Amino acid sequence: MRPVIGLALGGGGARGYAHIGVIRTLLAHHVPIDVVAGTSMGAIIGGAYACGLDLHKIEKILKNLDINKLLGIPETTLQGIESLVGKTASEYLFKRADWRVHEPPSLKQLYEFLRLFTGERTFEELAVPLSVVACDIDTGEEVVLRSGKLYRAIAASMAFPGVHPPVPVGGRFLVDGGLVNKIPVDAAVAMGAEIVIAVDVGAPLNPHVMTSLDVLIQSNAITSQELVRLKLELMCQRLGEKLIVIRPRVDRIRIFQLRQLDLPIQEGEQATVEKLGLIREVIAKYSAPPEPALEKQPAA
């Protein structure tokens, strides 16, 4: 009898396309995936897999869409900041920040995009148990979603602050789960995972900070990186060698480069291949031998 195996898929924008390569490689080498937890892009790819969708079809759909344009996501950080400044000025001058009362058209567009992968499925209908991580914008609390409409939960998990408005779910307003739990190993454990394969699609810090904008971006990256390090350290203390971290080499990819699929997928495949031996070794070590069959007693 083998242990329950969980997959924790981290957030990272376009770098998260590496999750497609990771899952595809695990399945090709017959590594079972019993439960999935995802944040942001990890929630999108993990949710599509949990729905039973073919990963090659997901890749084709993504390649045929201009996702940046479709979702109003800027292609560079500078464009994102310019857009945020414009939105803030408009809201301040014209008092149009009414997302607490009415769902903005941008959210409805996001829902339609996510329905391409999830339809109207609920968590309860999924082939593989799934947890989706988001953050309550009013309290800063981590919110783990495991019920209701899947597309709405994923929208909440990927609602990038300043780009998308918060998503109303259960009376709370939720945004990008990466703010509080970028690689949700603990969410996978809470679903019963005994071995967790965690996928870290973060990038190293920029060693060439020059402008004030660079300093602002780097400051946020430092906070995020430190939070990831602490959470992984805590889970490593709990799981030991039963926590296996895969780190695809995606540092060349910027988070908003959503039309760039081939490179992160390839890196996800390569990084997983490099860990296959360790994964098999850990699964074998913690698998109980089958119980011997009971001999039939002769009839009296």
DSSP state of 72: T
CB pairs under 8 A, 24+ apart, for 28-31? Answer: 29/276, 31/5, 31/197, 31/276, 31/279, 31/280, 31/283
Structural contact between residues 177 and 39, judged by C-beta atoms closer than 8 angstroms? yes
Q: From the candidates 40, 131, 136, 200, give the one annotated as an active-site residue.
A: 40
Q: Which of 34, 176, 186, 200 is catalytic?
A: 176
Find the angle CA(231)-CA(150)-CA(138) to the nearest 5 degrees: 55
Is 212 considered catalytic here? no
H-helix segments, 95-211: 105-118, 150-158, 185-190
Please count the CA atoms within 13 angstroms of the CA of 62 that sit on its side-chain side. Answer: 23
Q: Distance between CA atoms of 189 and 133, rounded to whole angstroms?
A: 13
Assigned token pair, 241: 């060698």
Active site residue 176: yes
Pairing mode, strands 172-176 and 167-169: antiparallel
Residues labelled as active-site residues: 40, 176
